[in-house]
Structure 1
């Protein structure tokens, strides 16, 4: 019977050997190595166990079937068949095993398989793939990417090669290939009849503007040069298209170019575009409609008095929780004849593209929960306005403060109008009611949180900003990497049900160890706990 033997040597180390009983005595078949620490002992025992259990390890000749067994510690005796610590040249050859490195190659392999399953290996550039995976695991600068890849068990390309890869990604139209793969995946996973659009800004740690990086509107009130980035995703938040614009370009002017680019790339005719109220411009909606595209765009609450004029006249400002009003809204603020509902008619008009050429369909919904939230916000704004009027707080003029001849007073009329509209949310569309009921319009719009989540992922988990690139090609290449990393991250979240940071946090500590022993190096895979194995199983799902 073959077994694993641990022997205490004269130097105090523990020798790990594979032995068998022959003729009533122990015969040493192989000396695995000598351990000086508990960690080294565990590694040697693991290696001995693999030698016993894996016939591919070769080299062990037993007269009986090997049965793993670990013998008790014994002291060396003169009648041992083999000197456990020989003083010959064999001692120098065997020596004690030592750890020469550990890495998270298991994590890299998992991410690489997800990357390939999405069809991104069509790019056929390992350096590009490594840059994408590195950004998912630990977003950092290009100079520091080599450290991350080394920790993932990869031999990183040189910094110069990485920079050349950025250039290749533009010359080789990598983004086109990635976008085509994303489209195919989204089609196979569901449908792209409805797509969501939003914009964000990415700023630069730079002082001077250029043709692309310009100071523009920033929600964070930054004064750094920036670019405007538009992102198109499917209803589940999976990225489909990305575009980059000058930093001072109005957000409303980015929608149509991105949609047309997406439409031309894939030869699409009928899709529904969903965007927030920031995209609500007469030009945008007209161009989308002229292109034969359907849209659902958030409306501004300030349009409610015009759209709901008939309702307010006949029913007052009392609403029921969940109440939905399907009506029409003027295409422009000046269209009053057939562009708005008639307050003399009690019934709300049913929008028809042929009969209402100067209006769009508008859906308004009331939520009691939203009304409570809106009232709370208005109360805070009212108190701030009163503090400014009374002189208790010196600040720039807030909402509901009216200045007349240098004197400030509370704008009671504006406050009353705002109170009247709490709880209302509007949606503008060119989809007839017979094709999409009002509640489906609302549900489709509320899917916008998926694109907002994708932007949050790109800005936090993938750290798309700030950027340190200077040329347009390098900036576009950076966005291609972020776009690809976002697609892989969204797929990982869809398969595992966990946030990408959670997945990385659980899988990265599963480290493989490379051991130098007996003149060779061998890599041992980590033990995988049950919870982490469940994640791996979920990610292997095609």
Structure 2
């Protein structure tokens, strides 16, 4: 081989020199050299001086000499498709950790679709047609084999899931309401409603709208949870069903369907009324924690009654008894903060009522309003609007209208501001009075679930489905998504504004307080380690920016694409660590 044919290589040289001023200077140079042996010695010949070239050009020359095939940057790799992946991967991983796929039923296309509907409800709630369009742009559809699924297949999967609801809820009840997991045998229950679009749903009816949608048909649904607020079961009833009636029917259903024995149902005073308690007694095997309504409290506060204000001289909690409540414990509570709020609200309502009634008086005096019937209708609307009927005395004739506040009734109500009485069948040896109060206040967990299901996270409302089966399936999907969201919120609390360590109040009657750490997190909008704090929805949106990219390397169009994940951010890595999962390339 001639000297000219011998291979060349790049040599980099670095020299240091101290000048006369004592400053150290670095000199970097690069050479293209050829090495050969001559007379038993290795000789080096400099072919070219590359020192004047930019470093990246020298790197390219060196890579080429080492046998690497270099192509233009725009032809090195082609990203054929980029799909959002991080959010659906995280929610799917949490669902698998909870055993949700097996809980839904045996492996089949309907199960995959039902699971995808639950995951999609957490990640991006929307109508079913919107959901099928959305998941086609993520890795959810392609990994679960749903790219060809349309609305007909989705509705068929909903029908399939509705037939599985009883067995799924039985498994959840066994897991969260059994004596081992729930030693106090408590189950929280509450009712809510949501309005329905269209006019063909057999469950839709006009009733009291908790959403403020007066005049629109609605459905009602009852949610059963464990003491911490994990959803266990949901039932849908017609929208004109009264709360007590719905509670009685659903309590019987839960007891017989799931075999609940010696369970204690926790519900508010408007739902577990005295009449419903009599029904529970006949049913047997169910206890209760609820509160007395205002007339019953007033009866106990009579001059000869057991509820006297002196009970609260030293404490805000007192045990009382009365023969009208045999076998029950009565725990009277006084909340000073609630008393102030009720007094303020009553004052505002009285002032607003006075203002409207004064307009009616002026109209009758001016002769613009006549006839006792018409005057009475208008006055009734005013006092009914503000719920102030009992606090006013009205004098109506065909030509006049006068009114006056019933100061005696107002004073009697004001005397009981901030007072509420809890009634329960739980014996004192099982649960002291403070814990009974805390148990009743834990109904806030169900209310939090309803906020999550209806508006904050899962957008259950409005109901667009027109068949009874689809409506029940839609509500059930939202309940399963709420179950999944409950666990995700708990796991991701360090990254979000959630209060991780809510302090236990020394006074069980006092309002709940946020921890100092949570207040700091909210004010600074950063977590304890200085990272940005997120809402639950914003954290999912951030996870969605972690994409899976189908990349083809080189210019050969027949080469297969290589799925590659984008580099996760520190927050995304932390989110997966908190749910105990690694970032998967595929959902299956």
What TM-score does the superposition give when structure 2 sets the normalisation length? 0.69
Contact 2:176 2:226 in 1 (8 A): no
In 1, the alpha carbon distance for the partners of 2:339 and 2:59 equals 81
* Aligned counterpart, 1:486: 482
Matches within 5 A, 1:219-238: 219=210, 220-238=212-230
1:420 aligns with 2:415: yes
RCO greater where, 1 or 2, for CA within 8 Å and sep 6 or more?
A: 2
Contact 1:215 1:248 in 2 (8 A): yes
In 2, the alpha carbon distance for the partners of 1:190 and 1:506 equals 36
1:193 aligns with 2:162: no
SS at match of 1:268: coil
Report the CA distance shift for 1:197/1:76 in structure 2 as closer, same or farther (over 3 A): closer
How far apart are 1:324 and its partner, in Å?
A: 2.0
Contact 1:368 1:423 in 2 (8 A): yes
Contact 1:273 1:293 in 2 (8 A): yes
Q: Decide which structure has the larger Cα Rg and report it.
A: 2
* Aligned counterpart, 2:443: 448
Deviation digits for residues 376-418 of structure 1 (CA, Å, limit 9, x no counterpart) = 1122122223323433999722313332224322221221112
* Aligned counterpart, 2:287: 294
Report the CA distance shift for 1:530/1:361 in structure 2 as closer, same or farther (over 3 A): same
Contact 2:452 2:458 in 1 (8 A): yes
Contact 1:233 1:240 in 2 (8 A): yes
1:520 aligns with 2:560: yes
In 2, the alpha carbon distance for the partners of 1:302 and 1:429 equals 18
Contact 1:385 1:410 in 2 (8 A): no
Report the CA distance shift for 1:78/1:300 in structure 2 as closer, same or farther (over 3 A): closer
Structure 2 residue corresponding to 1:111, chosen from 88, 91, 101: 91
Structure 1 residue corresponding to 2:136, chosen from 126, 150, 173: 150
1:305 aligns with 2:291: no
* Aligned counterpart, 2:511: none
1:272 aligns with 2:264: yes
Structure 2 residue corresponding to 1:511, chosen from 507, 530, 547: 547
Consecutive unaligned residues of structure 2, counting only runs of 5 or more, are 1-5, 11-54, 362-377, 497-534, 583-588
How far apart are 1:141 and its partner, in Å?
A: 1.1
Report the CA distance shift for 1:451/1:541 in structure 2 as closer, same or farther (over 3 A): farther
1:253 aligns with 2:249: no
Contact 1:209 1:215 in 2 (8 A): no
What TM-score does the superposition give when structure 1 sets the normalisation length? 0.74
In 1, the alpha carbon distance for the partners of 2:448 and 2:63 equals 71
Question: CA RMSD of the aligned region, Å?
Answer: 3.3
Contact 1:277 1:298 in 2 (8 A): yes
Deviation digits for residues 139-167 of structure 1 (CA, Å, limit 9, x no counterpart) = 11111112321233122322221121112
Structure 2 residue corresponding to 1:380, chosen from 322, 332, 348: 348
In 2, the alpha carbon distance for the partners of 1:79 and 1:445 equals 73
* Aligned counterpart, 2:39: none
Deviation digits for residues 25-79 of structure 1 (CA, Å, limit 9, x no counterpart) = 37xxxxxxxxxxxxxxxxxxxxxxxxxxxxxxxxxxxxxxxxxxxx734497799
Matches within 5 A, 1:324-335: 324-328=317-321
Report the CA distance shift for 1:443/1:255 in structure 2 as closer, same or farther (over 3 A): same
Q: What is the number of residues matched between the two proteins? A: 447
Structure 2 residue corresponding to 1:120, chosen from 82, 94, 100: 100
Matches within 5 A, 1:36-55: none
